[in-house]
A and B are shown apart, each in its own frame.
Chain A
């Protein structure tokens, strides 16, 4: 059973608008959630993370929101830029297994000029 799910395979957004990428999880024991970004022909790169004791973490144009009661997190990108076009993976991990990422399937974001 998949513990981390990204139900939208793709998302298309106009440049300058907000991109919202969603992720759901089933295990309330996860300690951290992370977002990785992947360009074609490159490996995933770390983007932003959030601890399970927080509900928001912000880094420049990127903000991650965590709703523990709903077991849902989202990544907001404001404003979206064409260079943000990539596949975004949501991942979860336990504190004592930090490094073992449990990934979602990814959402391909396309930001159109």
Chain B
């Protein structure tokens, strides 16, 4: 089945130690997103890629970076994780962006803990 896969399901890192979360898709969608969901809060968009074009949200901290080496893979890099970065990170894909209603396909998420 075509899908969005996130690994690992749980990730533990130390305060200030760089960490990378990964996402892959078999849907061949143009757009890949990273959403952050802190406990009991609404998921919030960090950035998205349309093909190779990176689009950062204005309020996404500089500590968060992303890479998309090819259509199938996208990575979220947190350069110096703080305690406040502990959250569920959701990767999603869609065929297009900005052309009306878009159905997003989400992975099951990576729960990041910062010790």
Name A residues whose Cβ lies closer than 8 Å to a Cβ of B.
2, 4, 9, 31-32, 34, 36, 41-46, 49, 51, 89, 93, 95-106
* A98 with B42: CB separation less than 8 A: no
* B42 with A45: CB separation less than 8 A: no
* A51 with B101: CB separation less than 8 A: yes
Given A2-B42, A44-B104, 11 more pairs with CB closer than 8 A: A31-B100, A34-B101, A89-B42, A89-B43, A96-B98, A98-B96, A98-B98, A99-B102, A100-B45, A103-B42, A105-B42
Checking B48, B97, B101, B108 against A43 with a beta-carbon cut-off of 8 angstroms, the contacting residue is: B108
**Closest CB of chain B to A30's CB: distance in Å?**
11
The yes or no answer to B99 lying at the interface (CB within 8 A) is yes
Give Cα A93–Cα B97 distance, bound, in whole angstroms: 11
Q: Which residues of A contact B41 (CB under 8 A)?
A: 105
* B107 with A43: CB separation less than 8 A: yes
* B101 with A93: CB separation less than 8 A: yes
Give Cα A51–Cα B100 distance, bound, in whole angstroms: 10
* A101 with B101: CB separation less than 8 A: no
> When each residue 25-36 of chain B gets 1 if its CB lies under 8 Å from chain A and 0 otherwise, what string results?
000000101010
Q: Which residues of A contact B9 (CB under 8 A)?
A: 41
* B106 with A43: CB separation less than 8 A: yes
The 7 closest A-B pairs by CB, nearest first: A43-B106, A103-B42, A99-B102, A99-B97, A98-B102, A32-B101, A103-B43
Checking A43, A89, A93, A105 against B92 with a beta-carbon cut-off of 8 angstroms, the contacting residue is: A43
Q: Which residues of B contact A98 (CB under 8 A)?
A: 96-102
- For chain B, residues 37 to 52, give those with C-beta under 8 angstroms from any C-beta of chain A: 40-45, 48
> When each residue 53-74 of chain B gets 1 if its CB lies under 8 Å from chain A and 0 otherwise, what string results?
0000000000000000000000
* A99 with B48: CB separation less than 8 A: yes
Residue pairs across A and B with Cβ atoms less than 8 A apart, 9 shown, are A44-B106, A46-B103, A93-B101, A93-B102, A95-B100, A96-B98, A98-B101, A99-B31, A100-B45
